[in-house]
Chain A
Amino acid sequence: MTEVIAGISVPDSAIARAATELVRDTEDDLLYNHSRRVFFWGALTGECKRLKYDPELLYLGAMFHDTGLTERYSSADLRFEVDGANAARDFMRSYGLAEHDIEAAWTAIALHTTPGIPEHMRSTIALVTAGVEMDVLGINYHNFSHEHRHEVCSCHPREESFKENIIDHFAEGIRKKPQITFGNVKADVLALKDPSFKRGNFCSIILGSAWPK
């Protein structure tokens, strides 16, 4: 039976069910519930803006978007977003999805922490980031009705201290590769959580480069 939450139907295809199972087995409750909420916020945004989007693609993007934080999918030197994108790509290829759709999901996951770019791209990419930004940063929080927020969070709760704990999850997922944070939002995570972290500085690199002038 199709699951419906806040008026949004959860995709019920074989690949969607397999994705749910895989993420359920790979991530803890916090990341799993967060990923599910990202799907609902993304889908509700799509409905609100009357965007044409592929719910299954959005679901896959949302469910895989933080898998790069887990030990199973984390690489030694790639951004965690790319690790998650690669995990989704491999998974989707194993189900024979079209490369065009795989590319969209890959890009949606790879860019979900890059502000100001995804909103100009195809709807799957824009909506994954919109969902993440709502759940983590509270962007457009007031554009969602109280009823929708309540219904989604009843099924997939934001646990006590979710705000602090998700920052901890980010830090844990990337602490072995601080170099991947240069120029992106995850530098703020390590600056908060790792006293030995030294933030890369764009202007210092320009001024200290090998160029004589």
Chain B
Amino acid sequence: MAALSQPRARSQPKETKHTGHRVLERKTDHEISCYLRRSRSRCLAARSDGCHNPCRTRAIVRASKRRKPATGGRGHRRRRHSRTRLARDAAQLVGEAEGELLFEHSTRVFLWAALAGRHKGVQYHPELLYVASIFHDFGLTSAYRESHSRFEVDGANAARDFLRRHGVADAASERVWLAVALHTTNGISEHLSPIAALLAKAPA
């Protein structure tokens, strides 16, 4: 399954050097604070041009515009579902359903979790952490008002469906499902995958 690139892979397509996650990894705490202050206008601007990924900087947008359209062949799937594409699609889907409070909260959750992961030296898949974070409260949205499942399960199912639609391997989708489903279950998530541990421990 080629939809997800491995973290810290030795050879990566040139454009992935400029992914939002890479940029975030270089940010200092002060920069993160500045990012959060700007996030509202950035998010609105991003929505207006059809890009809902709040993690994308101008450099990334430029990089993605330079990217050649995907063609057929073996690399087709990988390019179509590049790291930024998956994150952008996730943000778009969730951003359209959630109000600003939940969407910004979810974005911060990703940032806190990513910072905690970096601080602890935990190796995790940034893209999966992003999808888990952005979907973690999705079950609170109006589409699930009549659902009889726990909101955590509704969000987990939505995240898993989203990842499957994007051709992500089942094992990875299941990890995200469990991370979202258990994000309110104290004392368990830290023993599961790194993304489950980081998501559950991220402060609101």
Interface residues of A (CB under 8 A from B): 78-79, 81-82, 85, 110-111, 114, 116-117, 120, 180, 182-184, 206, 209, 211
Contacts and interface: CB of A to CB of B under 8 A. Distances in A.
Q: Is the interface of B mostly helix, strand, loop or mixed?
A: loop
A97 to B, nearest CB: 18
- Most chain A beta carbons < 10 A, residue from B152, B182, B185, B203: B185
Q: Which of A78, A120, A182, A206 has the most CB of B within 10 A?
A: A120
21 contacts: A79-B186, A79-B187, A79-B188, A82-B188, A82-B191, A114-B185, A116-B149, A116-B153, A117-B150, A117-B153, A117-B181, A117-B185, A120-B157, A120-B181, A182-B186, A183-B186, A184-B185, A184-B186, A206-B204, A209-B203, A211-B204
B12 interface: no
Contacts of B187: 78-79, 81-82, 180, 182, 184
Contacts, number: 45
A61 to B, nearest CB: 15
Interface string B165-204: 0000000000000000110111110010000000000011
B185 A183 contact: yes
A180 B203 CA distance: 18
Contacts of A114: 182, 185, 188
B188 A116 contact: no
Given A110-B191, A183-B186, 14 more contacts: A78-B187, A79-B186, A79-B188, A85-B191, A111-B182, A114-B182, A116-B153, A117-B150, A117-B153, A117-B182, A120-B181, A183-B185, A184-B186, A206-B204
B157 to A, nearest CB: 8
Contacts of B188: 79, 81-82, 110-111, 114
A116 B139 CA distance: 14
- Chain B, interface size category, equals 10 to 19
Contacts of B186: 79, 182-184
Contacts of B181: 117, 120
Residues of A contacting B: mostly: loop
Nearest to A206: B204
Contacts of B203: 209
A126 to B, nearest CB: 13
Contacts of A182: 186-187
Nearest to B150: A116
Instruction: List 9 A-B pairs, minimum CB-CB distance, nearest first.
Output: A79-B187, A116-B150, A183-B186, A110-B188, A117-B181, A114-B185, A182-B186, A120-B153, A180-B187
Contacts of B152: 117
A180 B188 CA distance: 10
Interface string B121-159: 000000000000000000000000000011011001100
Nearest to B184: A183
Contacts of A117: 150, 152-153, 181-182, 185
B174 to A, nearest CB: 9
A207 to B, nearest CB: 11
Contacts of B185: 111, 114, 117, 183-184
